[in-house]
Structure 1
Amino acid sequence: MIKQPPYLKKGDKIAIVSPAKYLPKDIDFAISLFKQWGLEVVLGESVYAADHQFAGSDELRTKDLQRFLDDSSIKAVIASRGGYGVIRIIDNLDFSLFLENPKWLVGFSDITVLLSHLFGKLNTQSIHAQMPYTFDDATQASLESLRKALFGESLKYHIKNHPLNRPGTAEGLLIGGNLTLLVMVQGSLSEMDYTDKILFIEDVGEREASIDRMMRMLKRSGKLSQLRGLIVGAFNEMDEEKVPFGQSPEEIIFKVVEEYNYPVCFQFPVGHIADNQAIILGTSGQLHIDGQQVTLVQPN
Structure 2
Amino acid sequence: MLCKMGKLKSLLKDVHTMPAKPLLLPPALKKGDTIGIVSPGRWMPADELAMTASRLQKMGYEVYVHPQNATQHHQYAGNMEQRADAIEDMFHDPEIDAIVCAKGGTGSLWLLDILDYELIARHPKIFCGFSDITALLNGIHKKTGLVTFHGPMLHNLRPTKPDALTWGHWEGVLSGDMTPLVLTKAEHAISPYISGTATGRLVGGNLCLLSHLIGTATDFNTDGCILFIEDECEALYSIDRFILHLKRAGKLDKIKGLIVGEFTDIPPATIPYGFSIEEMVHDALGDMDIPVVTNVPCGHGKTIITLPVGAEVELGVDPDAMTLRLTEPVVRKALAQTRAAG
| TM-score range normalised by the length of the shorter chain | over 0.9
Conservation of the 8 A alpha-carbon contact between 2:192 and 2:318: no
- TM-score of the two chains, using structure 2 as the length reference: 0.83
* Structure 2 residue aligned with 1:187: 215
CA contact (8 A) 1:121 1:192 kept: no
Is the partner of 1:47 in helix, strand or coil?
helix
Match of 1:165, SS? strand
Residue of structure 2 equivalent to 1:225? 253
The answer to whether 1:23 aligns with 2:23 is no
String of CA shifts for 1:107-157, please: whole Å, max 9, x gaps: 000000000112222221011111011212341110111111221112532
Tell me, in whole angstroms, the C-alpha distance in 2 between the residues paired with 1:174 and 1:203: 17
Matched, 1:139 2:139: no
Distance 1:147 1:265 in 2: 24
Kindly report the root-mean-square deviation, in angstroms, between the aligned alpha carbons of the 2 structures.
1.7
- Asked whether the equivalents of residues 121 and 191 of structure 1 are also in contact (C-alpha less than 8 Å), the reply is no
Tell me if structure 2 keeps the 8 A contact 1:127–1:149. no
Q: Which amino acid aligns with 1:257?
A: L
Q: What's 1:289 paired with? A: 317
1:19 Cα deviation after fit: 0.8
Q: Give the aligned length.
A: 300
Letter of the 1:139 counterpart: D
2:53 and 2:180 map into 1 onto residues whose CA distance is 26
User: What is the CA-CA distance between 1:4 and the residue it aligns to?
Assistant: 0.8
Output aligned runs, 1:1-300, within 5 Å.
Answer: 1-24=22-45, 25-137=47-159, 138-161=162-185, 165-299=193-327, 300=329
**Within 2, Cα distance between the matches of 1:257 and 1:84?**
29
TM-score normalised according to structure 1 size: 0.94
Identity level (%): 33
**Counterparts of 1:125 and 1:100 in 2: how far apart (Å)?**
14
Indicate how the Cα distance of structure 1 residues 59 and 119 shifts in structure 2: closer, same or farther if over 3 A, else same.
Answer: closer
Query: Do 1:105 and 1:126's aligned partners in 2 also have CA atoms closer than 8 Å?
Result: yes
Contact 2:38 2:69 in 1 (8 A): yes
Alpha-carbon offset, residue 32 of structure 1: 3.1
Looking at structure 2, the residues matched to 95 and 36 of structure 1 have their Cα atoms a distance apart, in angstroms, of: 32
- Structure 1 unpaired stretches of 5+: none
Partners of 1:18 and 1:178 in 2: CA distance: 17
Comparing 7-16 and 203-212, the one that deviates more: 7-16
Shifted more, 256-265 versus 229-238: the winner is 256-265
- Which AA in structure 1 matches 2:275? Q
Rg (Cα) greater in structure = 2
Tell me the amino acid that sits aligned with residue 7 of structure 1.
Answer: A
- Of 262-271 and 91-100, deviating more is 91-100
Residues 94 and 134 of structure 1: CA distance in aligned 2, closer, same or farther (over 3 Å):
same
Superposed CA offset, 1:192-237 (max 9, x none): 2101000111000111111111111111111101100000000111
Q: Residue 164 and residue 279 in structure 1: after superposition, are their counterparts in 2 closer, same or farther (change >3 A)?
A: closer
Stretch of structure 1 that moved more, 150-159 or 209-218? 150-159
